[in-house]
Structure 1
């Protein structure tokens, strides 16, 4: 198996050259008057990457942190903006934010993406070492020739997710509704060849035709019911607290979905302090379950690692490496300081696992687990708001490995 995402970064430039960081103030104060605290902190991170899927990628990753009230009564808000272009003429753009209005009255979650995409897909389920479909090994009595484990797909994708949740009185409980739209078009199965003798069928084509869905374009559009308990002390780099979230997403045809379906998202995070004298020495735990609860979701809209809101799950695998009608994911990360008294430099060690089902292939959830592990460095570019620049390297099942750059903690 080829390496998954492999990123070539200018490490010295990113870590030791000044990052482009500035803030916007409410108003410009005279020199003799004490300046007001910055309302918006902006960090612009240049990104250079390379892998077989994208060729060479160039782009910027601006990160925003701001407060709509005061630190005493309102949590900080955060947003990440990604703009990337590749030598293979791919375009990736995104805007993702977690915002709190004054007094934490409302929590606004936004996920907008427009991608001219190309990535490998590997079929459904988490049976990485299972026989190739159609190889005569008795997998589903499939009558077609073998399908390669790595199938390259090109497609365009537009996503608009917007959730609005109201705070319940003065508690950490939020509840509300959302709208979720995913459109996939210009889908090109690179290994699909219907004119060959015998035909060469891909996982995507087989799934879509069995479900009676177009193989060239499809969409999911619907509403969600959401509830979240969030007691974290900081959304970008928590030292304590918990997050528990449930989202039931309904995608009826009359709202624009190609086929009707419903999905359930359930998530939990918690943070355990390892040293009462050092807040930064913690164990962080993250788990989520993502399930198709009724109807049929199109192939690229099925639960998959790396397709969570901030695209953080699944180090060191490529996005979508594990995909299925049901998906469960869990990760543990130890975050620790590298300086005795300061918080500028830190390190992390992580391990994660995922499992997915394929009802079509009769692969049950939890029948196989895929593991990833690794470590990395952290450099805190804004100590007051705990904004971290991170560089991680990970290893995974069947030789997967990759180098990952990020702003803020992974979860």
Structure 2
């Protein structure tokens, strides 16, 4: 696979750099490369338990004083729900942070429950009172998902601001809907009803587009920040001539801020996250609508399963208090968090903030590499109406 080849390439480049440490570094030359080929054991409500390998790599493309650590996280996982999840996600900073390359590549053979649109959908399957003949509540979906996202960002002078362009492709195929055999009503699935109403096919959809991006990157370390902030504005245009089923456009807003509470122990901090995703024009297929847990690393909405809420517009916020558990060391840490999400849907006549779904929880952290702050995180989150979940991951949630 391409991801494995990339890791091997980086590994051999690192060996050559170490062998020639007396030679002056050139701009954008890989240095201080560290690969952690972790066996992966993870968990979340959408996938159950996940087993496989999750290699994590960090390196620098320039001097430490002027260049952020680059990072790449890969996954080759099989789950207790008989899913295959293969992915590679990267943030690469060239020398002096002059360019940032952001990648998100995925191939999933997977499944997931969906519950219909908006913030008011119930847990248990039932007929939608606002859409007679249509399921509302939990419905299972099997599908394949191919994603290729790659964004190039150029630094503006010596500032913390970047402008760039990206190509984003999502292909959802072999979509099959089903429901508990004990439920005998013959109703139309939410995915089928929405796609048929909007003029999409039900079993395969493609979204292919160009993004225009503005970024402020002011974090000290992207994977586990201790201070400052990050902001993203991304406007995506999905024209039919690039392969999209229908022409559409979306707007994504992402802001994160980190407040150290103790200058001598910067791991003791308050982290805030605001996230919005909006359909601006045209129509999106059901699977491509804004949904909880579909940020780049799938960390939003702890307390609910991925895909639990979905709509044409989404607003999400989270606050997390992070703290060390040792007096003089940073190996062990803890966290408590609260979050809230709201979804709007024209199809169900539900506006943003008509209903807000809160979540909360606590977590435990083990820092396995203090230089690049590689951390194993374990969280338990609680949502409304009995929703909850255990989350085991690499690095901080945001």
Assess same fold via TM > 0.5.
Answer: yes
Q: How does 1:169-188 map onto structure 2 within 5 Å?
A: 169-188=157-176
Alpha-carbon offset, residue 45 of structure 1: 2.6
Alpha-carbon offset, residue 250 of structure 1: 0.3
Could you tell me which of 23, 27, 30 is aligned with 2:17?
27
Q: Render the CA deviation track for 1:267-292: whole Å, top value 9, x for unaligned.
A: 11001111222211100001110000
When structure 1 is superposed on structure 2, of 118-127 and 382-391 the one drifting more is 382-391
Kindly tell me: are residues 350 and 341 of structure 1, through their superposed partners in 2, closer, same or farther at Cα, counting changes over 3 Å? same
User: Aligned pair 1:213/2:200, yes or no?
Assistant: yes
What residue ranges of structure 2 are gaps of 5+ in the alignment? 1-12
Could you tell me which of 377, 392, 397 is aligned with 1:405?
392
When structure 1 is superposed on structure 2, of 268-277 and 169-178 the one drifting more is 268-277
Alpha-carbon offset, residue 144 of structure 1: 1.4
Q: Provide the C-alpha distance between the structure 1 equivalents of 2:213 and 2:45, rounded to a whole number of angstroms.
A: 38
Alpha-carbon offset, residue 406 of structure 1: 1.6
Q: How does 1:3-402 map onto structure 2 within 5 Å?
A: 24-28=14-18, 39-48=32-41, 57-86=50-79, 88-129=81-122, 134=127, 139-140=129-130, 142-144=131-133, 147=135, 149-191=137-179, 199-402=186-389
Q: Render the CA deviation track for 1:378-403: whole Å, top value 9, x for unaligned.
A: 11111122221211111111112222
Structure 2 length normalisation: TM-score?
0.89
When structure 1 is superposed on structure 2, of 314-323 and 45-54 the one drifting more is 45-54
When structure 1 is superposed on structure 2, of 184-193 and 225-234 the one drifting more is 184-193
CA contact (8 A) 1:338 1:345 kept: yes
Q: Provide the C-alpha distance between the structure 2 equivalents of 1:324 and 1:29, rounded to a whole number of angstroms.
A: 54
When structure 1 is superposed on structure 2, of 307-316 and 40-49 the one drifting more is 40-49
Alpha-carbon offset, residue 29 of structure 1: 5.1
Kindly tell me: are residues 104 and 173 of structure 1, through their superposed partners in 2, closer, same or farther at Cα, counting changes over 3 Å? same
User: Is the partner of 1:332 in helix, strand or coil?
Assistant: strand
User: Is the partner of 1:349 in helix, strand or coil?
Assistant: strand
Alignment match, 2:8: none
Kindly tell me: are residues 218 and 109 of structure 1, through their superposed partners in 2, closer, same or farther at Cα, counting changes over 3 Å? same
User: Is the partner of 2:107 in helix, strand or coil?
Assistant: strand
Give the CA RMSD over aligned residues. 2.8
CA contact (8 A) 2:291 2:311 kept: yes
Alpha-carbon offset, residue 353 of structure 1: 0.8
Q: Render the CA deviation track for 1:178-216: whole Å, top value 9, x for unaligned.
A: 0010001111011399xx997421111110111011001
Kindly tell me: are residues 340 and 103 of structure 1, through their superposed partners in 2, closer, same or farther at Cα, counting changes over 3 Å? same
Kindly tell me: are residues 377 and 38 of structure 1, through their superposed partners in 2, closer, same or farther at Cα, counting changes over 3 Å? farther
User: Is the partner of 1:79 in helix, strand or coil?
Assistant: strand
Q: Provide the C-alpha distance between the structure 1 equivalents of 2:49 and 2:230, rounded to a whole number of angstroms.
A: 37
Q: Provide the C-alpha distance between the structure 2 equivalents of 1:108 and 1:63, rounded to a whole number of angstroms.
A: 17
When structure 1 is superposed on structure 2, of 81-90 and 326-335 the one drifting more is 81-90
CA contact (8 A) 1:192 1:202 kept: no
Structure 1 length normalisation: TM-score?
0.86
